[in-house]
Structure 1
Amino acid sequence: MSEKKIIVSKASPRKQETMPVLALRGLVLFPHMVLHFDVGRAKSVLALNEAMSNERKIFLVAQRDIRDDDPTGEQLYRVGVVGEIRQILRTQGDNLRVVVDGRYRGRLLNIDENGPFFSGVVEEYPVRERITNKALCDALVRTVKDLFEEYCYLTPKMPKDIVNGILASEDPFYVAEFIAGNIQLRYEDKQAVLEESSVIKRLELIAKLLENENEILSLEQDIHEKVKEQIDKNQREFYLREQMKAISSELGEGEELFEELDRYREQIRKLSLPQESEEKLLKEVDRMEKMPPNSNEASVIRGYLDTVLELPWNVHTKDKIDIEKARRLLDSEHYGLKKVKERILETLAVRKLSPEIKGQIICLVGPPGVGKTSIARSIAETMGRKYVRLSLGGVRDESDIRGHRKTYIGSMPGRIITALKQAGSANPLMLLDEIDKLGNDFRGDPSSALLEVLDSEQNNAFRDHFIEIPFDLSQVFFIATANDRSTIPAPLLDRMEIIELSSYTREEKFQIARRHLVAKQLKRHGIAAKQLSIADSALYEMIDYYTREAGVRNLERLIASVCRKAAVTIVSKEDTKRLSVTAKNLSTYLGPRKFRDDELTRKDEIGVANGLAWTSVGGEMLQVECAVMEGSGKDQFTGSLGDVMKESVSAAITYIRSVAGQYGISKTFYKDKDLHIHFPEGAVPKDGPSAGITTCTALVSALSGIPIRHDVAMTGEITLRGRVLPIGGLREKTMAAYKYGMKTVIIPAANVPDLEEVEDVVKEHIKFVPAERMETVLETALVRIPRPVIEPPAPAMVPVGERGEDTSIRQ
């Protein structure tokens, strides 16, 4: 036989009995209570059988760990309840349904766990004790009843007989045990109540457990009500929608509207917009649902939703920046423009190193036809971005930029949002063309509307009046173009980085025509290169005598005109093998020359100086003529001169008066000579200070009678003290000097750094003379330096008496 393991407790004078022990899993039985539970373990079944054969008594005690299928004696609590088996029923399988009536509380003194079932010695463990503080006990009983009543309110399923029995009883022992046995508590808490022998402490423990349970039940009830309310709301909406569908179906409207609404809701949720924007759009869908399908307002909302959903909210293109590829592309599509290309390559390099950079807004400023738009298109192609162009010329209404409110009939989004929709990307390259042509009137100022668009600190939440929800423009690469920088509003100009594009020189126009324009027009007109050839001399002829422009648009039109004339000849005369256009026969295609060279004198003359001027179509030679006549000191200026130019001429005259003696000029010329200064082409307005040294040289020549060299040109501003100040447009002016065969060009010394921009061919054929003072200009331009005027000495002042005169008074 195997040895029995006995756990022995201290001796006790109370009643002791030996009986089977049954381990309860997750259950605690209280005295005077009936417990229903299932039994499936073999030990437990054998213990029940033993009890049924011996007065039906069995000791029920909870096990400490409910996960243990075969607990040992040490894993059982010591305090339990002696019960009487009322009924045993066999259920499915080998399980038994047992009904036990609790008799009294007992304590396990020792246990035998080596047999087929647990058996042990159990002593009676009464809980009744003498209550010394009756008031405290009554207060605790009342508190426990109140808490139990609140518990019953939060748990409506509590049987009424149990509730009434507890509330009607005044016995603290009964109240404590009955409440603990009939409320939902953890088995550990019930075991703690069962083991507590002090009535006061038991009531305090029950009160604490009830209060905690009531708080949990209250929170559960709140959560349940919120969930139920949400479910009821969703069910109500679903029910109402189904009703509306049924009504619409009966009216013959079909289910198309509801399918459309569901489609709108699905598309809105797929966009993953910010919560504010998503709620706004869903609200519009709900409004549309409540309207008749064919109403005007429903059509407005439908158009609004279609427009918003077509925008590229989360569509972005990835930048693919290759600096060498960009350099080759710019060189192949644009001749010259070295500074512009360098600046663009710098921008692309920075974007490659820092893709998240913001705030780079470029404005290309230059005369028409120099390639501003084509440069922007090349940048977009280089970066791999979508290209979209906005023409702002003549825009006078602020709504063209920000859009109209959708409540108006015929309302639509502004040009910015429309361009994004057209591009199909949230980060395109957007060209704002002719930004200097914006106007304003009573309808608003569109340039002010552009301030938010071009501000990197604000445009991440741009609100169009039609869309009404913010759209992020911070990823858009804005490039603006303008012809005149001075007409761009100052706040708008401050937000952009200016890149100047100067007019093309004669050589650049020729290279562009030969490399690009001729081939482009031949292809457009369907003429093969072997059928028509345009000689270089013909291109130079077109540039010099048929066009006067900064760009090459008119030159391209002339080439197209030649191609059309040639096409007629090729089609009408099938035996024509090859046509050749040269400078000699160009007039047969384009007619006589439209422009002619200024008839510059090819000999040294007095009072005629060659100046250099800048125009929007390039540099020009500007001769200044001076005539000196006997008179009373009158000055006359002709040639449609502006105020600045008149002031420059006056400064030159003042300077000559101050140095007249050094150049053989009478110091009284301003009194006894009349001066007439004329600038040819009087119909053309002229202004600016850069003709100052030219005017001064012509005046010195006319007053001193010394000729001016005909192969010398000059440009520069003069001061009253004879200093030569810098000017602008040196590149275009020097190209004009080269074109007219000048050998020497006098420039301000401060403009020497600008010679880097001058074409190499110009530097090879022209000698540049930097001048800081007017003396250098005159030494270079005049044939010879005039001799200074030597004034005769003034007669000495002799007293009258010393001259031998009779000083007596005559009678």
Structure 2
Amino acid sequence: MPFFRRMEETAQRPVEEKPEPLAELRKAIAEARLPEHARQAVTKELERLDKTDPSVAEYSVGYNWVQFVLALPWNAATPDNLDLARAERVLNEDHFGLSRVKERVLEHLAASIMVSSRPRRVLVVDDERIALDNMAYVLGKDGHEVLTAENGRQAMEVLARTECDLVITDLKMNQMDGLELLERLKAASPQTELILVTGFATVDTAVNALKKGAAHYLPKPLNLDVLRSVSRDILDAKAKSRVARGPILCFSGPPGTGKTSIGRGVAAALGRKFIRLSMAGLRDEAELRGHRRTYVGAMPGRILAELKRAEVNNPVFMLDEVDKIGKDFRGDPASVLLEVLDPEQNRRFLDYYLDMPFDLSGVMFITTANVVEELPRPLYDRMEAIPFQSYTPLEKRRIARDYIAPRQMHGAGLRTKDLSFTDAALDTVIDGYTREAGLRNLDREIGSLCRKVDLQVLAGKLRLPASLDAAEVTALLGPPRFRPEAAARADAVGVATGLVYSEYGGQILFIETARMAGGGGLMLTGSLGEVLKESAQTALSYIRSRAGELGIAPNFFKECDIHVHIPAGAIPKDGPSAGVTIAVALVSLLSDRPARSDVAMTGEMTLSGRLLPVGGLREKLLAAQRAGVMTVVLPKANEIEWRVLDEDVRQAVRVVFAETAIEAIKEALQP
């Protein structure tokens, strides 16, 4: 029968050998340079997979885990470019201004370069001259600075005069043996590593030496290649830990001031890869630490996943917007960062999916935040804040002409010689169409101008090359969206102009007051915080105690109610720096003297009328300039800080320093 014949033919064919699904993993494990604890873990998992049916879910979970472990960059690193002049050139190529920020970054890089280029000093101790010379010779060929001693007593004398990174000593020596030298070394210099070499190798001796703090134990006859390899690994790990112990940089400042781009510049200057991870809105700590493999669909955390994607273990890793991390029932991501950003802990970072320590000490972490005060205190203590300040109008004009305009013209299909902007045109865009501390809106408006020029050219209404002036900018972009608030407002009774600093830079605000018949009530509106409410109470009490000196009827408060309002009621406001502004507005109201609209002020006021220093001075002065304010009243205690500001910031407005509220009132009110 044909059916049986076909069955017989099928049975006679040789069975094709199926390739073993784990063979490639075994080969990859053998070739990978895994740490010993990782090699043991994947070998154990592979043995378990070998006994597991491939059709069950646990098989694929284990298989994927082994692949993930093998894909991690356990030993892959990019060599640092230790050329400080190149680093400065790279930072200046793409970033104008920010001189203080660049200086701080270069200081950090200089410290890393000094640590990395520091000579590695090795002390070799052995009472056999030939062995001593051989070890000193091979270590010297590796570029180490080698010192020698013939016994433990001589070694301690050398260590008393010179700091060494590594000591390599024989066990059996005259006067002082290797174990006694180890004990004295760890007592005198715990950071110095020691390798013990002996021809009397026993398990007990090795265990005893390692318990006392020895970094490694090598038997005789000594393999010099093994000695070189072990010494190099120990010294590399020590140098790596010294570099990693530098502070974690935290770039803080308003949006659009160049925090992320400076981070990219640091990576380019060092020759490292760059990773950016946004922390804004992150609420589940498993996003950073991963899920345990027992869960269905478990995945590693974002930190190890990004390192796997980068394929190196020493990138520049930017944690963006760390001040906007959330917290709920799923955990606290900020607590994970306490481990990640701590040099003492991140050498053994534990991702729940990986379930074994991974060394993050080679990663250069940089964080960014708009308001560092919103960071948890333990997290903030692990970082060094580098403030990014607002750009001045002159800096914005220079950046717009040299950086933004050429890039936007290229994106719009225009050549740099096709289109140009006059200074007045750029000033019109900066003052009339943007109101920001950074450059993002300026970038968008110049891009919009370039696209509108494209439309005009294609419609035959404009011929290239062209130069845009202020009037043409207004014709293309429409009426200006912003105008100087203070310059457009007339002097008024009971209304004073204040200066504040927020996460978006400096801003002005108007404090409005009114009085009506009543019995001594004080109403405060405008979404005011507790500190701001107390500032208003302090200002009113000061005025009541000095009513005669200020030309106000002593019993004014018995016959009226006073209402203090700060516009933009939907926006929460708080802080002590509006105290003097509230006092000026109230004195203006109660004495019926108009407050000058071209004068703005800032300062915390005490009950006795003294003015205390405030922060955000540079941003507040730039905000006053943008608003058309001519004079700014500052506390006398801020004068030293004002004198170190850039010349263009100090010349932006006229500054008057006041020690008391009386001096500020005289300057701000009309006679």
TM beyond 0.5:
yes
**CA-CA distance at 1:633 after TM superposition:** 4.0
C-alpha distance in 1 between matches for 2:356 and 2:572: 51
C-alpha distance in 1 between matches for 2:585 and 2:618: 24
Q: How does 1:104-143 map to 2 (within 5 A)?
A: none
> Structure 2 residue aligned with 1:584, among 471, 480, 483?
471
Q: Does 1:738 align with 2:625?
A: yes
Partner residue, 1:273:
35
Partner residue, 2:275:
388
Partner residue, 2:452:
565
Change (3 A) 1:288 1:264: farther
1:362–1:480 contact (8 Å) kept in structure 2: yes
Q: How does 1:136-151 map to 2 (within 5 A)?
A: none
> Structure 1 residue aligned with 2:104, among 343, 348, 356?
343
**CA-CA distance at 1:556 after TM superposition:** 1.2
Q: How does 1:23-102 map to 2 (within 5 A)?
A: none
Partner residue, 1:449:
336
C-alpha distance in 1 between matches for 2:29 and 2:88: 47
Q: Does 1:358 align with 2:120?
A: no
1:504–1:618 contact (8 Å) kept in structure 2: no
Count of matched residue positions in the alignment of Structure 1 and Structure 2: 533
The normalised TM-score by structure 1 is 0.61
Change (3 A) 1:574 1:630: closer
**CA-CA distance at 1:423 after TM superposition:** 1.6
C-alpha distance in 1 between matches for 2:381 and 2:495: 44
2:633–2:658 contact (8 Å) kept in structure 1: yes
Q: How does 1:269-348 map to 2 (within 5 A)?
A: 271-274=33-36, 276-292=37-53, 296-348=57-109
Change (3 A) 1:382 1:618: same
For 1:491, the aligned partner's letter is P
1:549–1:616 contact (8 Å) kept in structure 2: no
C-alpha distance in 2 between matches for 1:251 and 1:288: 24
1:312–1:420 contact (8 Å) kept in structure 2: yes
For 2:454, the aligned partner's letter is A
Moved more, 749-758 or 672-681: 672-681
Q: Does 1:264 align with 2:28?
A: yes
C-alpha distance in 1 between matches for 2:25 and 2:512: 81
2:500–2:620 contact (8 Å) kept in structure 1: yes
> Structure 2 residue aligned with 1:501, among 381, 388, 391?
388
**CA-CA distance at 1:574 after TM superposition:** 9.6
Q: How does 1:157-168 map to 2 (within 5 A)?
A: none
For 2:342, the aligned partner's letter is D
Partner residue, 1:617:
504
Partner residue, 1:483:
370
**CA-CA distance at 1:482 after TM superposition:** 1.9
Change (3 A) 1:320 1:669: same
For 1:313, the aligned partner's letter is W
For 1:263, the aligned partner's letter is K
Change (3 A) 1:408 1:484: same
The normalised TM-score by structure 2 is 0.73
Partner residue, 1:410:
297
For 2:374, the aligned partner's letter is T
Change (3 A) 1:695 1:743: same
Across the aligned residues of Structure 1 and Structure 2, the Cα RMSD in angstroms comes to 2.8
C-alpha distance in 2 between matches for 1:400 and 1:319: 30
1:261–1:289 contact (8 Å) kept in structure 2: no
For 1:337, the aligned partner's letter is L
Change (3 A) 1:575 1:695: closer
C-alpha distance in 1 between matches for 2:59 and 2:490: 84
3-state SS in 1 of match to 2:615: coil
Partner residue, 1:25:
none
**CA-CA distance at 1:273 after TM superposition:** 1.9
**CA-CA distance at 1:502 after TM superposition:** 3.0
Q: How does 1:504-653 map to 2 (within 5 A)?
A: 504-573=391-460, 576-598=463-485, 600=487, 606-627=493-514, 632-653=519-540
Partner residue, 2:207:
none
**CA-CA distance at 1:530 after TM superposition:** 2.5
C-alpha distance in 1 between matches for 2:39 and 2:569: 67
C-alpha distance in 1 between matches for 2:596 and 2:279: 49
Change (3 A) 1:752 1:285: same
C-alpha distance in 2 between matches for 1:602 and 1:756: 30
Moved more, 722-731 or 540-549: 540-549
1:388–1:422 contact (8 Å) kept in structure 2: no
1:267–1:309 contact (8 Å) kept in structure 2: no
**CA-CA distance at 1:375 after TM superposition:** 0.9
C-alpha distance in 1 between matches for 2:481 and 2:629: 24
C-alpha distance in 1 between matches for 2:430 and 2:649: 17
Partner residue, 1:367:
254
For 1:322, the aligned partner's letter is D
**CA-CA distance at 1:303 after TM superposition:** 2.0
**CA-CA distance at 1:310 after TM superposition:** 1.7
Change (3 A) 1:368 1:468: same
C-alpha distance in 1 between matches for 2:42 and 2:474: 66
C-alpha distance in 1 between matches for 2:639 and 2:280: 38
C-alpha distance in 1 between matches for 2:572 and 2:349: 45
1:645–1:689 contact (8 Å) kept in structure 2: yes
Partner residue, 2:227:
none
Q: How does 1:232-247 map to 2 (within 5 A)?
A: none
C-alpha distance in 2 between matches for 1:254 and 1:725: 82
3-state SS in 2 of match to 1:768: strand
Partner residue, 1:463:
350
Q: Deviations over 1:321-346 (max 9, x none)?
A: 33333233323322332332221111
1:264–1:285 contact (8 Å) kept in structure 2: no
C-alpha distance in 2 between matches for 1:441 and 1:543: 41
C-alpha distance in 1 between matches for 2:463 and 2:421: 16
C-alpha distance in 2 between matches for 1:738 and 1:382: 36
For 1:320, the aligned partner's letter is N
Amino-acid identity (%): 47
3-state SS in 1 of match to 2:250: strand
> Structure 2 residue aligned with 1:252, among 4, 13, 16?
16
Partner residue, 1:18:
none
1:429–1:476 contact (8 Å) kept in structure 2: yes
Partner residue, 2:590:
703
C-alpha distance in 2 between matches for 1:277 and 1:300: 17
**CA-CA distance at 1:422 after TM superposition:** 1.6
3-state SS in 1 of match to 2:110: helix
For 1:273, the aligned partner's letter is P
3-state SS in 1 of match to 2:251: strand
Change (3 A) 1:542 1:757: farther
2:252–2:386 contact (8 Å) kept in structure 1: yes
2:115–2:243 contact (8 Å) kept in structure 1: yes
1:505–1:732 contact (8 Å) kept in structure 2: no
Could you tell me which runs of 5 or more consecutive residues in structure 1 were left unpaired when the two chains were aligned.
Answer: 1-248, 785-811
C-alpha distance in 2 between matches for 1:537 and 1:325: 36
C-alpha distance in 2 between matches for 1:431 and 1:446: 16
**CA-CA distance at 1:714 after TM superposition:** 1.6
C-alpha distance in 1 between matches for 2:572 and 2:327: 28
1:403–1:415 contact (8 Å) kept in structure 2: yes
3-state SS in 2 of match to 1:661: coil
**Greater RCO, 1 or 2 (C-alpha within 8 Å, sep 6+):** 2
Change (3 A) 1:445 1:642: closer
3-state SS in 1 of match to 2:471: coil
Change (3 A) 1:647 1:470: closer
C-alpha distance in 1 between matches for 2:596 and 2:498: 12
Partner residue, 1:725:
612
C-alpha distance in 2 between matches for 1:575 and 1:764: 39
Change (3 A) 1:397 1:683: closer
C-alpha distance in 2 between matches for 1:438 and 1:602: 40
